[in-house]
Structure 1
Amino acid sequence: MKKIATIIFVLLFTIPISAFVMSISKDTTVAEEKAEEYFQTAGNNKAAHTKEDGTTYNICYVDIDPYPPSGEMLYYLLQEINDMGWMNIEHFDKLPFDPQDTDAGALIDYLAQQGTGDYISFSKKYNYYIALDNPQTVKKEIEEGIKEGEIDLILCLGTSPGKLIIQEMGIEDVPVMVYYSVDPVSAGLSQKQEYSGQDNVWCHTSSQVYKNQLSFYHDAYSFQKLGMVYYDESIAARDIYGETAKALGVEIAEQKIETISGQNSEEEYYNNLKNAYKQLVEEEHIDAFLLNTDMIKDSERMDELLSVFIKADIPVFVQNGQTFVKNGALMLMAASDAVSQAPFAADAFARILSGESPGDIYQKFVPSPYVSINLDTANQIGYEVPDDIILLSEQIYGGSGERE
């Protein structure tokens, strides 16, 4: 209600950005209502329970690498699962983790060690970062875990983990949830937005937000040449952004690099990333930059990397992750809202453990527009933030102080 009230208030005074956001909000509300209607009418009891033999459901966690926005998504999902009674953690918000800067793997390890109650359990063994762990070892352990009955559900955060489990391994014997994937349909993980088309697979979908996002950024700052660096087209929503840019009459200057792997060390990765950033600024002469998902994985490197653009007075817009705005990016019109999406995904989680087929569970949920702005960065690059964006923003960094 806070977001809708703010947008209505701004509409009384400003056009066109606020009118654009209201149109997004209208579409989003319809999507949210459809999702809510499904979950209100769908059948099974979601109350926490053990397996038939009285033991806990064992959850296997598969992620890409340590990445603050991914950790944030996992944190709020688990908090919601805990609130639903599937875990027994009395003060979840007192755990030694910052929601906006959480190492997801460390959180899973912590819960595995501390214990989560009678209904679900996590394991230090079945907890993977596929960019850092040996892929063959991951596959072998998961296959053996399923065979031995030690894995009851695989929770994948991101497109690459989903591809590993669904496409490369062809897992069909246990339920698979894919959360925080940019576009599961384009990635081939789900046949449609509403339902996966696979009995054991559920994917959260909301790809239309990336079209709205880029249009919003262009309305806010009329750039003509947008820079992008990514390692995977589907994770970067490359096709969606490309189509939107074409409609806006905007050119995209892009570079694809290798992500961190056994052949590409962390230091090599960040050297390549910084060089790609410099090339876009110095040779391609971009006038805006879009920071794509899962590119700056180490929060301690944000200042150094974002400064490449700030020193050149180039605004940095963010695909996913409010933490980047806090650390110097100009703006985020959120495509993924960890807090508002958590109940939707947690509901699917509970339904799956209650016996529903993942392929029968509705999976489209589009979060309401959520804008974050860094006024100090705006001042550094000489950008005068329109009043309507300030009024629309639910998180403001810098200036006269943070507002939430």
Structure 2
Amino acid sequence: MGARIPTTLAAFLAVLSVLAAAFLPLPLEAADTAPAPRQEGKWRIAYVEGGTYENYQKVLKSFVRGLEKLGWIQADETFHKTSFPDDRAMWAWLSQNARSDYLEFVPDAFWSANWEETARERNKDEAINRLRERRDIDAVIAMGTWAGQDLANDRHSTPVIVFQSSDAVKAGIVKSAQYSGRPHVFALCDPARYKRQVSVFHDIVHFRKLGVTFEDSPTGRIYAAIDDVKDVCREQGVELVECHAVTNSPDFSQAVASFRACNERLAKEADAVLITHSMTVKPSTMPELFKPFLDAKIPTFAQMGSGAVRRGALLSLSQTDFKAIGLFYARAFSQILRGASPGSLPQVFEDPPVLAVNLETAKRIGFNPPSDVLAESEEVFTSILTQDSQ
């Protein structure tokens, strides 16, 4: 970020608020985002993902909220209040029930690999062939890093809006954080997100050895933002304790066991742990994966947000309701359908800083949250969720 990190959390978050305001999307003229009818029929939208992930539903719902605010669509509260079993079910609901004179969520234009490499390759080929040959899709939502990598190429020219990529630049999805480098690709970028997280965690806990579990592969390193984590550790004089798990396994139980074994090791060797993005870390596995840290009284910070804090992580820095990010996506999407080149749109967006803390976790590990942590927390959980539907 360039400037010296302030010594108190309150001051640090104040600086972040100023920086975030600088990157928030500027107010757009109504004409830039107003609903635009297609010459024939409705704008047809497709969806591609690597697999179901907790935040994907939150982001897609916030995107729909943004479209509602801009006048493109109407989706009743049933949609926003429903916890869908997977993203396919959510897409099916939109296809059947969303009311719009402008948009169609095409029911058979949904691809999910369920985090399987073979299915990923098949889906990529099917989706690109349809975009290139049938040409019946006007825009694609590419949810996550896998989908962004698979569709951000020159094998087709259909507009692609990449949601929720861990690091779109390092993943090779876009050329830079400012502009994508491809005329048909747009991906939200927050270049300092993961450095911000580690800095906040260090400011609160003052750890000397930070543990991190991740798969030591190109994709695993991107998901964990390991280069950014290393940068902050060097700046702070912190020792980084790495453990390499095998998470990209066809046997999911083996992947979880590998991650759990790393966590058990880190609980003995580190004095704080950063819980990284991984397809292995999901609501149904979090209680098991977080248990070694609770037992060893190790403070944890989750990259993935407050869902992990509900389930036993001590802290996270995330959005409370994703409204701002959803509106950012909706505005870009609206401009694209109105004729703007996706590659010409600014991509940088910084989330307003919001802390989430779990007081039950704090009690169990013997951590007394400083008063400024509680003052700056918009999500405070008083128990650990151990049962989950996903």
The alignment's TM-score, normalised by the length of structure 1, stands at 0.85
Q: How far did 1:97 drift?
A: 2.5
Distance in 2 between the 1:249 and 1:105 partners?
Answer: 45
SS at match of 2:221: coil
Alpha carbons 1:79, 1:92 under 8 Å: kept: no
Alpha carbons 1:176, 1:202 under 8 Å: kept: yes
Q: How far did 1:279 drift?
A: 2.5
Deviates more, 1:268-277 or 1:387-396: 268-277
Residue 230 (structure 2) aligns with: 242
Residue 61 (structure 1) aligns with: 47
Distance in 1 between the 2:300 and 2:142 partners?
Answer: 28
- CA deviations 1:9-61 (Å, max 9, x no partner) are xxxxx9722111111112112222xx31xx536x95322233211x1222221
Residue 74 (structure 2) aligns with: 88
The alignment's TM-score, normalised by the length of structure 2, stands at 0.88
Residue 17 (structure 1) aligns with: 9
Q: 1:244 to 1:336 in 2, by over 3 A?
A: farther
Distance in 1 between the 2:211 and 2:142 partners?
Answer: 29
- CA deviations 1:259-308 (Å, max 9, x no partner) are 45xx52222221222122122224xx111111112344531222121112
Residue 251 (structure 1) aligns with: 239
Matched, 1:144 2:129: yes
Residue 97 (structure 2) aligns with: 114
Alpha carbons 2:152, 2:173 under 8 Å: kept: yes
Alpha carbons 2:246, 2:259 under 8 Å: kept: no
Distance in 2 between the 1:243 and 1:296 partners?
Answer: 25
Matched, 1:209 2:193: yes
For structure 1, the residue ranges without an aligned partner over 5 or more in a row are 1-13, 400-404
Matched, 1:31 2:31: no
Whichever residue aligns with residue 342 of structure 1, its letter is G
Whichever residue aligns with residue 120 of structure 1, its letter is L
Q: How far did 1:228 drift?
A: 1.5
Q: 1:332 to 1:175 in 2, by over 3 A?
A: same
Deviates more, 1:231-240 or 1:121-130: 121-130
Residue 11 (structure 1) aligns with: none
Q: How far did 1:254 drift?
A: 2.1
Alpha carbons 1:340, 1:367 under 8 Å: kept: yes
Deviates more, 1:378-387 or 1:301-310: 301-310
Whichever residue aligns with residue 366 of structure 1, its letter is E
Q: How far did 1:247 drift?
A: 0.6
5 Å matches for 1:205-354? 205-231=189-215, 232-260=220-248, 264-282=250-268, 285-334=269-318, 338-354=322-338
Distance in 1 between the 2:353 and 2:161 partners?
Answer: 24
Distance in 2 between the 1:140 and 1:171 partners?
Answer: 10
SS at match of 2:161: strand
Alpha carbons 2:72, 2:103 under 8 Å: kept: yes
Matched, 1:158 2:144: yes
Q: How far did 1:177 drift?
A: 0.8
SS at match of 1:385: coil
SS at match of 2:32: coil
Distance in 2 between the 1:337 and 1:190 partners?
Answer: 26
Q: How far did 1:116 drift?
A: 4.2
Deviates more, 1:304-313 or 1:224-233: 224-233
Q: 1:388 to 1:136 in 2, by over 3 A?
A: closer
Whichever residue aligns with residue 236 of structure 1, its letter is A
Q: 1:95 to 1:29 in 2, by over 3 A?
A: closer
Identity across the alignment (%): 26
Matched, 1:371 2:363: no
Alpha carbons 1:159, 1:184 under 8 Å: kept: yes
Residue 32 (structure 2) aligns with: 45
Alpha carbons 1:44, 1:351 under 8 Å: kept: no
Q: 1:392 to 1:115 in 2, by over 3 A?
A: closer
Coordinate RMSD, CA, aligned:
2.3
Alpha carbons 1:68, 1:297 under 8 Å: kept: no
Q: How far did 1:153 drift?
A: 1.0
Residue 3 (structure 2) aligns with: none
Q: 1:205 to 1:136 in 2, by over 3 A?
A: closer
Distance in 2 between the 1:94 and 1:253 partners?
Answer: 40
Distance in 1 between the 2:330 and 2:190 partners?
Answer: 16
For structure 2, the residue ranges without an aligned partner over 5 or more in a row are 1-5, 384-390
